[in-house]
Amino acid sequence: MKQFGRDVVHRWERNPIVAIEDIPFACNTVFNGTVIKFGEYIMLLRIEGLRGYSVLALARSRDGYHFEVDDKLFMEPATEEPFKTFEEKGVEDPRITLIEGSYYIMYTAVSGFGHRIALAKTDDFKTVERLAAVSEPGNKDGVLFPRKIGDRYVRLDRPYGGGVGNIWMSYSKDMIDWGDHKLLAPTRDGYWDTTRVGASAVPIETDRGWLEIYHGVKGTSGGPIYRLGTLLLDLEDPSKVIGRSAIPILTPREPYERIGDVGNVVFSCGAVPEDDGEVKIYYGAADTCICVGTASVDELLESCQYA
Protein backbone atom coordinates (compact mmCIF):
# COMPACT_ATOMS: atom_id res chain seq x y z
CA MET A 1 0.00 0.00 0.00
CA LYS A 2 1.29 3.47 -0.89
CA GLN A 3 2.39 5.69 1.98
CA PHE A 4 2.88 9.41 1.93
CA GLY A 5 4.94 11.67 4.15
CA ARG A 6 4.42 10.92 7.79
CA ASP A 7 0.78 9.88 7.72
CA VAL A 8 -0.20 7.29 10.32
CA VAL A 9 -3.38 6.45 8.37
CA HIS A 10 -2.88 4.08 5.41
CA ARG A 11 -5.09 5.25 2.56
CA TRP A 12 -7.01 2.63 0.62
CA GLU A 13 -5.39 2.53 -2.80
CA ARG A 14 -8.75 2.64 -4.57
CA ASN A 15 -10.00 5.82 -2.91
CA PRO A 16 -12.39 7.54 -3.22
CA ILE A 17 -15.01 5.00 -2.15
CA VAL A 18 -18.04 7.23 -2.82
CA ALA A 19 -18.02 10.01 -5.39
CA ILE A 20 -20.65 12.03 -7.23
CA GLU A 21 -20.91 9.29 -9.92
CA ASP A 22 -22.21 6.91 -7.23
CA ILE A 23 -25.17 9.10 -6.29
CA PRO A 24 -28.32 7.97 -8.11
CA PHE A 25 -29.63 11.51 -8.66
CA ALA A 26 -28.26 14.92 -9.62
CA CYS A 27 -26.30 16.64 -6.87
CA ASN A 28 -23.37 18.96 -6.31
CA THR A 29 -21.06 16.93 -4.04
CA VAL A 30 -20.95 14.05 -1.56
CA PHE A 31 -18.75 14.02 1.55
CA ASN A 32 -18.46 13.52 5.32
CA GLY A 33 -20.00 10.05 5.74
CA THR A 34 -20.29 8.23 9.06
CA VAL A 35 -20.21 4.42 9.12
CA ILE A 36 -21.49 1.85 11.59
CA LYS A 37 -21.92 -1.92 11.48
CA PHE A 38 -25.56 -2.98 11.34
CA GLY A 39 -25.09 -6.52 10.06
CA GLU A 40 -23.51 -5.02 6.96
CA TYR A 41 -21.72 -1.67 6.99
CA ILE A 42 -24.11 1.27 6.83
CA MET A 43 -22.90 4.71 5.85
CA LEU A 44 -24.91 7.86 6.46
CA LEU A 45 -23.47 10.41 4.11
CA ARG A 46 -23.90 14.06 3.31
CA ILE A 47 -24.99 15.07 -0.15
CA GLU A 48 -25.01 18.69 -1.16
CA GLY A 49 -27.80 19.22 -3.64
CA LEU A 50 -27.68 21.48 -6.65
CA ARG A 51 -29.38 24.28 -4.73
CA GLY A 52 -26.52 24.26 -2.23
CA TYR A 53 -27.97 22.78 0.96
CA SER A 54 -27.22 19.32 2.32
CA VAL A 55 -29.33 16.20 2.87
CA LEU A 56 -28.41 12.75 4.25
CA ALA A 57 -28.56 9.42 2.43
CA LEU A 58 -27.66 5.84 3.31
CA ALA A 59 -25.17 3.60 1.56
CA ARG A 60 -24.57 -0.08 2.25
CA SER A 61 -21.54 -2.35 1.97
CA ARG A 62 -20.54 -5.90 2.81
CA ASP A 63 -16.83 -5.16 3.24
CA GLY A 64 -16.63 -1.52 4.34
CA TYR A 65 -14.98 -0.50 1.04
CA HIS A 66 -17.56 -0.98 -1.73
CA PHE A 67 -20.71 0.99 -1.01
CA GLU A 68 -23.98 1.27 -2.85
CA VAL A 69 -26.05 4.40 -2.23
CA ASP A 70 -29.83 4.06 -1.65
CA ASP A 71 -32.12 5.73 -4.19
CA LYS A 72 -34.20 7.27 -1.44
CA LEU A 73 -32.92 9.98 0.93
CA PHE A 74 -32.78 9.18 4.65
CA MET A 75 -33.06 12.71 6.09
CA GLU A 76 -34.01 15.94 4.40
CA PRO A 77 -34.43 19.30 6.13
CA ALA A 78 -37.51 19.03 8.35
CA THR A 79 -40.77 20.37 7.01
CA GLU A 80 -42.40 20.65 10.42
CA GLU A 81 -41.66 22.68 13.52
CA PRO A 82 -39.86 22.77 15.88
CA PHE A 83 -37.12 21.53 13.51
CA LYS A 84 -38.10 23.29 10.27
CA THR A 85 -36.82 26.75 11.22
CA PHE A 86 -33.41 25.42 12.19
CA GLU A 87 -32.84 23.10 9.23
CA GLU A 88 -33.86 25.37 6.39
CA LYS A 89 -30.27 25.50 5.11
CA GLY A 90 -29.65 21.79 5.44
CA VAL A 91 -28.65 18.85 7.61
CA GLU A 92 -24.92 18.10 7.73
CA ASP A 93 -22.07 16.01 9.14
CA PRO A 94 -23.86 13.15 10.98
CA ARG A 95 -22.26 10.88 13.57
CA ILE A 96 -23.97 7.62 14.57
CA THR A 97 -23.49 6.09 18.02
CA LEU A 98 -24.96 2.76 19.15
CA ILE A 99 -26.20 3.23 22.71
CA GLU A 100 -28.24 0.68 24.62
CA GLY A 101 -29.42 -1.01 21.40
CA SER A 102 -30.50 2.12 19.47
CA TYR A 103 -28.64 4.15 16.88
CA TYR A 104 -28.42 7.84 17.79
CA ILE A 105 -27.53 10.34 15.10
CA MET A 106 -26.05 13.68 16.09
CA TYR A 107 -26.05 16.01 13.11
CA THR A 108 -25.69 19.69 12.36
CA ALA A 109 -28.90 21.60 11.67
CA VAL A 110 -28.12 24.67 9.58
CA SER A 111 -30.26 27.80 9.24
CA GLY A 112 -29.98 31.56 9.00
CA PHE A 113 -29.60 31.45 12.80
CA GLY A 114 -26.38 29.44 12.57
CA HIS A 115 -25.40 25.84 13.30
CA ARG A 116 -27.10 23.78 16.01
CA ILE A 117 -26.50 20.21 17.12
CA ALA A 118 -29.61 18.07 16.65
CA LEU A 119 -30.37 14.50 17.72
CA ALA A 120 -32.31 11.79 15.89
CA LYS A 121 -32.73 8.08 16.51
CA THR A 122 -33.29 4.95 14.44
CA ASP A 123 -33.56 1.27 15.32
CA ASP A 124 -33.73 -0.12 11.79
CA PHE A 125 -32.26 2.44 9.34
CA LYS A 126 -35.66 2.52 7.64
CA THR A 127 -37.40 5.15 9.72
CA VAL A 128 -35.84 7.94 11.72
CA GLU A 129 -37.26 10.00 14.55
CA ARG A 130 -36.00 13.47 15.39
CA LEU A 131 -35.66 13.84 19.15
CA ALA A 132 -34.55 17.42 19.79
CA ALA A 133 -32.21 20.25 18.93
CA VAL A 134 -29.65 19.77 21.67
CA SER A 135 -27.67 23.00 21.55
CA GLU A 136 -28.21 26.67 20.91
CA PRO A 137 -26.87 28.10 17.64
CA GLY A 138 -23.10 28.37 17.46
CA ASN A 139 -22.37 24.72 18.22
CA LYS A 140 -21.61 21.74 15.95
CA ASP A 141 -19.53 18.54 15.70
CA GLY A 142 -21.63 16.84 18.39
CA VAL A 143 -20.39 13.28 19.01
CA LEU A 144 -21.93 10.94 21.60
CA PHE A 145 -19.85 8.50 23.65
CA PRO A 146 -21.13 4.92 23.22
CA ARG A 147 -22.13 4.46 26.87
CA LYS A 148 -23.01 6.37 29.99
CA ILE A 149 -20.07 7.36 32.15
CA GLY A 150 -21.16 7.39 35.77
CA ASP A 151 -24.87 8.05 35.50
CA ARG A 152 -24.73 10.46 32.57
CA TYR A 153 -24.49 10.42 28.80
CA VAL A 154 -21.48 12.33 27.50
CA ARG A 155 -20.83 14.13 24.25
CA LEU A 156 -18.06 16.11 22.62
CA ASP A 157 -19.11 19.36 20.98
CA ARG A 158 -17.70 22.48 19.41
CA PRO A 159 -19.10 25.82 20.53
CA TYR A 160 -17.70 28.80 18.68
CA GLY A 161 -16.65 31.82 20.69
CA GLY A 162 -13.96 34.45 20.87
CA GLY A 163 -13.16 33.85 17.21
CA VAL A 164 -12.13 30.20 17.81
CA GLY A 165 -13.73 26.76 17.81
CA ASN A 166 -12.47 24.44 20.57
CA ILE A 167 -13.53 20.94 21.61
CA TRP A 168 -15.72 20.95 24.69
CA MET A 169 -17.70 18.24 26.40
CA SER A 170 -21.19 18.21 27.89
CA TYR A 171 -23.20 15.82 30.06
CA SER A 172 -26.84 14.78 30.18
CA LYS A 173 -29.14 12.42 32.05
CA ASP A 174 -31.51 11.98 29.09
CA MET A 175 -29.55 13.03 25.96
CA ILE A 176 -31.94 16.01 25.56
CA ASP A 177 -30.85 18.52 28.22
CA TRP A 178 -27.12 19.08 28.28
CA GLY A 179 -24.98 20.89 30.85
CA ASP A 180 -21.80 20.84 32.96
CA HIS A 181 -19.93 22.07 29.84
CA LYS A 182 -16.16 21.69 30.05
CA LEU A 183 -13.36 22.85 27.80
CA LEU A 184 -11.55 19.70 26.65
CA ALA A 185 -9.06 20.42 23.86
CA PRO A 186 -8.37 23.98 22.70
CA THR A 187 -6.54 24.95 19.54
CA ARG A 188 -2.74 25.00 19.87
CA ASP A 189 -0.50 27.84 18.76
CA GLY A 190 2.36 26.69 16.60
CA TYR A 191 0.76 23.34 15.70
CA TRP A 192 -1.22 21.91 12.78
CA ASP A 193 -4.46 22.58 14.72
CA THR A 194 -3.90 26.22 15.48
CA THR A 195 -7.14 27.81 14.17
CA ARG A 196 -10.02 25.45 14.94
CA VAL A 197 -10.59 21.92 16.27
CA GLY A 198 -13.64 19.64 16.47
CA ALA A 199 -14.50 16.06 17.40
CA SER A 200 -14.78 13.69 14.43
CA ALA A 201 -15.39 10.02 15.23
CA VAL A 202 -17.26 8.32 18.05
CA PRO A 203 -14.67 7.73 20.81
CA ILE A 204 -13.23 4.20 20.80
CA GLU A 205 -12.94 2.53 24.20
CA THR A 206 -9.47 1.00 24.71
CA ASP A 207 -7.83 -0.26 27.88
CA ARG A 208 -5.58 2.84 27.83
CA GLY A 209 -8.45 5.34 27.55
CA TRP A 210 -11.00 6.76 25.09
CA LEU A 211 -9.37 7.21 21.72
CA GLU A 212 -10.82 10.14 19.81
CA ILE A 213 -10.06 10.99 16.19
CA TYR A 214 -10.58 14.74 15.75
CA HIS A 215 -10.05 17.32 13.04
CA GLY A 216 -7.88 20.40 13.28
CA VAL A 217 -7.49 23.40 11.04
CA LYS A 218 -4.51 25.57 10.31
CA GLY A 219 -5.05 28.88 8.53
CA THR A 220 -2.44 29.61 5.86
CA SER A 221 -1.98 32.32 3.25
CA GLY A 222 -3.48 29.80 0.78
CA GLY A 223 -6.56 29.17 2.94
CA PRO A 224 -7.35 26.66 5.69
CA ILE A 225 -5.92 23.11 5.78
CA TYR A 226 -8.05 20.46 7.55
CA ARG A 227 -6.20 17.51 9.04
CA LEU A 228 -6.92 14.64 11.44
CA GLY A 229 -5.32 13.92 14.80
CA THR A 230 -5.92 11.90 17.97
CA LEU A 231 -6.77 12.50 21.60
CA LEU A 232 -6.62 10.03 24.47
CA LEU A 233 -9.10 10.67 27.28
CA ASP A 234 -9.27 9.11 30.73
CA LEU A 235 -11.70 6.18 30.82
CA GLU A 236 -13.40 7.13 34.08
CA ASP A 237 -13.21 10.90 33.59
CA PRO A 238 -12.99 11.70 29.86
CA SER A 239 -12.65 15.42 30.61
CA LYS A 240 -9.02 14.56 31.44
CA VAL A 241 -6.82 14.61 28.33
CA ILE A 242 -3.99 12.11 28.75
CA GLY A 243 -2.61 12.24 25.21
CA ARG A 244 -2.78 14.32 22.06
CA SER A 245 -1.05 13.88 18.74
CA ALA A 246 1.73 16.40 18.20
CA ILE A 247 1.58 15.66 14.47
CA PRO A 248 -1.48 14.89 12.33
CA ILE A 249 -2.41 11.28 11.56
CA LEU A 250 -3.71 12.30 8.13
CA THR A 251 -3.01 15.40 6.09
CA PRO A 252 -4.28 16.25 2.57
CA ARG A 253 -1.74 15.03 0.00
CA GLU A 254 -3.58 13.14 -2.74
CA PRO A 255 -5.23 15.06 -5.60
CA TYR A 256 -8.71 14.04 -4.37
CA GLU A 257 -7.88 15.62 -0.98
CA ARG A 258 -6.27 18.70 -2.49
CA ILE A 259 -8.76 19.58 -5.22
CA GLY A 260 -12.52 19.96 -4.92
CA ASP A 261 -15.19 22.36 -3.71
CA VAL A 262 -13.05 23.02 -0.62
CA GLY A 263 -9.48 21.97 -1.31
CA ASN A 264 -6.97 20.72 1.27
CA VAL A 265 -9.57 19.05 3.47
CA VAL A 266 -9.65 15.65 5.16
CA PHE A 267 -12.63 15.65 7.54
CA SER A 268 -13.84 12.54 9.35
CA CYS A 269 -17.28 11.85 10.77
CA GLY A 270 -16.71 8.22 11.72
CA ALA A 271 -14.42 5.24 12.24
CA VAL A 272 -15.15 1.54 12.61
CA PRO A 273 -12.94 -0.48 14.98
CA GLU A 274 -12.64 -4.07 13.74
CA ASP A 275 -12.13 -7.20 15.87
CA ASP A 276 -8.54 -7.60 14.64
CA GLY A 277 -7.47 -4.22 16.07
CA GLU A 278 -7.64 -2.34 12.78
CA VAL A 279 -9.71 0.85 12.54
CA LYS A 280 -11.34 1.91 9.28
CA ILE A 281 -11.33 5.70 9.25
CA TYR A 282 -13.84 7.27 6.87
CA TYR A 283 -13.30 10.82 5.74
CA GLY A 284 -14.60 13.42 3.37
CA ALA A 285 -11.94 14.69 0.97
CA ALA A 286 -11.98 18.25 -0.39
CA ASP A 287 -15.73 18.35 0.42
CA THR A 288 -16.18 16.41 -2.85
CA CYS A 289 -15.91 12.66 -2.15
CA ILE A 290 -15.63 10.05 0.61
CA CYS A 291 -12.48 8.01 1.30
CA VAL A 292 -11.27 5.38 3.73
CA GLY A 293 -7.93 4.70 5.38
CA THR A 294 -6.86 2.29 8.10
CA ALA A 295 -4.65 2.35 11.16
CA SER A 296 -4.34 -0.08 14.02
CA VAL A 297 -5.56 0.90 17.47
CA ASP A 298 -1.92 0.55 18.59
CA GLU A 299 -0.71 2.98 15.91
CA LEU A 300 -3.42 5.46 16.88
CA LEU A 301 -2.62 5.11 20.60
CA GLU A 302 1.04 5.65 19.86
CA SER A 303 0.21 8.77 17.83
CA CYS A 304 -1.29 10.52 20.85
CA GLN A 305 1.07 9.50 23.58
CA TYR A 306 3.03 12.75 23.59
CA ALA A 307 0.63 15.31 25.02
Q: Where are the alpha helices (DSSP H) in the chain?
A: 255-258, 297-303
Whether 153 and 134 have beta carbons less than 8 Å apart is answered as no
Asked if 90 touches ligand BMA (CB under 6 A), the answer is no
In the complex with ligand BMA, which residue's Cβ is closer, 128 or 228?
Answer: 228
SS3 224: strand
In the complex with ligand BMA, which residue's Cβ is closer, 93 or 257?
Answer: 93
Adjacency order of strands within the sheet including 102-111 = 91-99, 102-111, 114-122, 129-133
**What per-residue string of b and e applies to 14-28 under the rule 16 or more CB within 10 Å gives b?**
ebbbbbbebbeeebb
In the complex with ligand BMA, which residue's Cβ is closer, 264 or 294?
Answer: 264
CB of 111 to ligand BMA, least distance (A): 14
- Of 91-130, binders to ligand BMA (CB under 6 A) are 92-93
In the complex with ligand BMA, which residue's Cβ is closer, 149 or 262?
Answer: 262
Asked if 284 touches ligand BMA (CB under 6 A), the answer is yes
Asked if 257 touches ligand BMA (CB under 6 A), the answer is no
- CA–CA separation, 217 vs 182, rounded Å? 21
- CA–CA separation, 46 vs 92, rounded Å? 6
In the complex with ligand BMA, which residue's Cβ is closer, 32 or 97?
Answer: 32
Contacting ligand BMA (CB under 6 A), which of 41, 83, 104, 226?
226
Size of the site for ligand BMA (CB under 6 A): 9
Q: How far apart are the first and last CA of the chain?
A: 29
Stretch near ligand BMA under the rule CB under 6 A, chosen from 149-157, 171-179, 237-245, 261-269: 261-269
Stretch near ligand BMA under the rule CB under 6 A, chosen from 94-102, 147-155, 236-244, 259-267: 259-267
- CA–CA separation, 158 vs 164, rounded Å? 10
Q: Which residues contribute to the site for ligand BMA (CB under 6 A)?
A: 32, 92-93, 226, 262, 265, 267, 284, 287
